[in-house]
Amino acid sequence: MTFYRLLAAAAFLLAGGALLLQNPERNAYTDPSSLAALIESEQDHIEPLDLARSIKEGKQKLQVIDLRDSTEFAEYHIPGARLMTLTALVNGGVRRNENIVIYSQGGTHAAQAWVILKTKNFPNVRTLLGGMSGWNDEILFPQISADAPDSTKRAFDERKALSVFFGGRPRTAPSYTGHPPRQKPPLKGGQPPKFEKEGDKLRETCERYGSTDIFSALVRIKA
Amino acid sequence: MDMNAPFYQFGMFDLETALAIAFAIGIGFGFFLEQAGFGSAMKLAGQFYFRDLTVFKVMFTAIVTAMLGLFWLSRLGIVDLSLVRVLPTYLVPQLVGGIIFGVGFVMGGYCPGTCCVAAVTGRMDGWVHLLGMFAGIFVFAEVYPMISEWYSSTAMGEATLSQVFNLSPGTTVFIVTSVALLGFSGAEFVEGKFKRTKSQS
């Protein structure tokens, strides 16, 4: 009986302590220099290629968050990604033990979300390097130069497979001409892109004449 | 990577290991239920006749231990409260479920966990209760499509006592612990009274 009374007294003391403290959580303070160190050591982001491999292999459970608007999300999103506003994300949209990857179109909003989540002590949160634009360039429409050495071409095979897996289309560019890369075709909901007739013509002409200059290709079509 | 749970989610061990650990925990849970005397329907049903309030005391002790433990472990930075899973509240369906559960408990003398303990220790009533439980699960699964809308009605989300009563967590902990301690001493008093009445009669 005395032992039980002792336990009861201990419980009462702990409860009294709780009453005095009120809040079970200490005021969290994030050291800004620790955040700076994470950014400098590049632990704040994940490369598109690493994310693509990770999703394809499916070994690690990732929570991929899309911060773009619903129209952009409907057009195309990384498979498995959840559409979320920044406000929803930082107000309980994700749990602290999840392995989180955030992306926006360019990366600014994702980076801002990263800082907010870090100040809320989320240990495993990263942004997708380059955002959706980076994903387009690296994964959906990777490009290899036609005169690239064989070793590079062999290494490119994996990129090709990933591109097809995620609904993109790998591109072979002619040797470097100094022209900017041609425009990317539109995408729909993770499906391989369907080219508009005009776009198809443009692409074929570009490929036939080995040019990435849209203007000269257009001239050739008209002619 | 920081230490994180659940370990399974972070690939620290595979599904087979997770199941093996669940099995070991289940065996341990069953062992201690049996040791506490919860494999006997007479002891369990005793609380409804106020002769033996062990179940009440065990349940309230578990609540107070977990509550104080979580409060202080969080305060010491060991447990992250935002990760503790809170089952969502559906007020009316859960009240009805509670009543059905209670009626079954009084009639059969077991709850789902204790009937498993009774069954594996060879008690026939435990096996009958277990069969009834599986029959109930089957019936529920069959009628679920008809009641699914009602099943998720009066949703209150992941409600906690401190949110519902608009009290701070510390105040809630203090009130619940005080009620439990008063309840324990009340239970001792009631048990003494009813045992005496029984022996006198």
Kindly report, residue by residue over A101-116, the tens digit of the pLDDT.
999 999 999 999 999 9
Domain extent, residue B135, equals: 39-200
Question: Does the CB of A13 have a partner CB in chain B at under 8 Å?
Answer: no
Determine the average pLDDT of the residues in A204-209: 55
Q: Give tens-digit pLDDT for B93-144.
A: 999 999 999 998 888 889 888 999 999 999 999 999 999 999 999 999 999 9
Please give the pLDDT value at position A179: 54
Please give the pLDDT value at position B85: 79
The overall longest dimension of chain A from CA atoms, in Å, is 102
Query: Which residues of A, range 164-223, sit inside 8 Å of B by Cβ?
Result: none
Nearest to B80 among A15, A96, A124 (CB): A96
Residue B140: CB atoms within 10 Å = 13
**Which of B82, B111, B121 shows the shortest CA–CA distance to B4?**
B82
Please give the pLDDT value at position A193: 47
Residue A125 has pLDDT above 90, yes or no: yes
| Alpha carbon of A17: minimum distance to chain B alpha carbons (Å) | 8
Tell me whether residue B29 is in a domain.
no
- State ipTM: 0.80
Please give the pLDDT value at position A221: 53
Q: Give tens-digit pLDDT for A4-51.
A: 889 999 999 999 999 999 888 876 667 888 889 999 999 999 999 999
Classify strands A100-103 and A125-128 as parallel, antiparallel or unpaired.
parallel
Please give the pLDDT value at position A119: 87
Query: Which residues of A, range 34-93, sit inside 8 Å of B by Cβ?
Result: 59-61
Tell me whether residue B24 is in a domain.
no
| Alpha carbon of B145: minimum distance to chain A alpha carbons (Å) | 28
Which of A14, A41, A60 should be substituted to probe chain B, the one whose Cβ sees the most B Cβ atoms within 10 Å? A14
Please give the pLDDT value at position B137: 94
Please give the pLDDT value at position A57: 87
Q: How far is CA A113 from CA A89, A108, A116, in A?
A: 8, 9, 5
The number of folded domains in chain B is: 1
User: Where are the alpha helices (H) located in chain A, listed in sequence order?
Assistant: 2-21, 32-40, 48-57, 70-75, 86-88, 108-119, 131-135, 150-165, 197-208, 214-222
Give the type of residue at B172: T
Yes or no, beta carbons of B169 and A23 under 8 Å apart: yes
Tell me whether residue B144 is in a domain.
yes
Yes or no, beta carbons of B178 and A15 under 8 Å apart: yes
Q: Give tens-digit pLDDT for A152-185.
A: 888 888 888 889 888 888 887 665 555 555 556 5
The sign of the dihedral angle between the CA atoms of B13, B14, B16, B21 is positive
Using a CB-CB cut-off of 8 Å, the residues of chain A touching B167 are none
Q: For each successive 10 residues of chain B (201 residues), what is the average pLDDT?
A: 55 80 93 89 85 89 95 88 85 95 89 91 93 94 94 89 91 96 92 70 47
Classify residue A67 as exposed, middle or buried by CB count within 10 Å of its CB (0-12, 13-18, 19+).
Answer: buried
Q: Which residue has the higher pLDDT, B92 or A204?
A: B92
Yes or no, beta carbons of A11 and B68 under 8 Å apart: yes
pLDDT band at residue A208, thresholds of 50, 70 and 90? Answer: low
Q: Walk me through the domains of chain A, giving residue ranges and CATH numbers.
A: 32-136 (3.40.250.10), 145-222 (no CATH)
Distance, CA of A47 to CA of A67 (rounded, Å) = 17
| Alpha carbon of A112: minimum distance to chain B alpha carbons (Å) | 21
pLDDT band at residue A191, thresholds of 50, 70 and 90? Answer: low
% chain A with pLDDT above 70: 75
Determine if the pTM surpasses 0.90.
Answer: no
A197-208 helix and A214-222 helix, angle to the nearest 10 degrees: 100
Phi, psi of A102 (to 5 degrees): -110, 140
Nearest to B74 among A19, A20, A24 (CB): A24
Tell me whether residue B104 is in a domain.
yes
Please give the pLDDT value at position A61: 82
Across chain A, mean pLDDT equals: 81
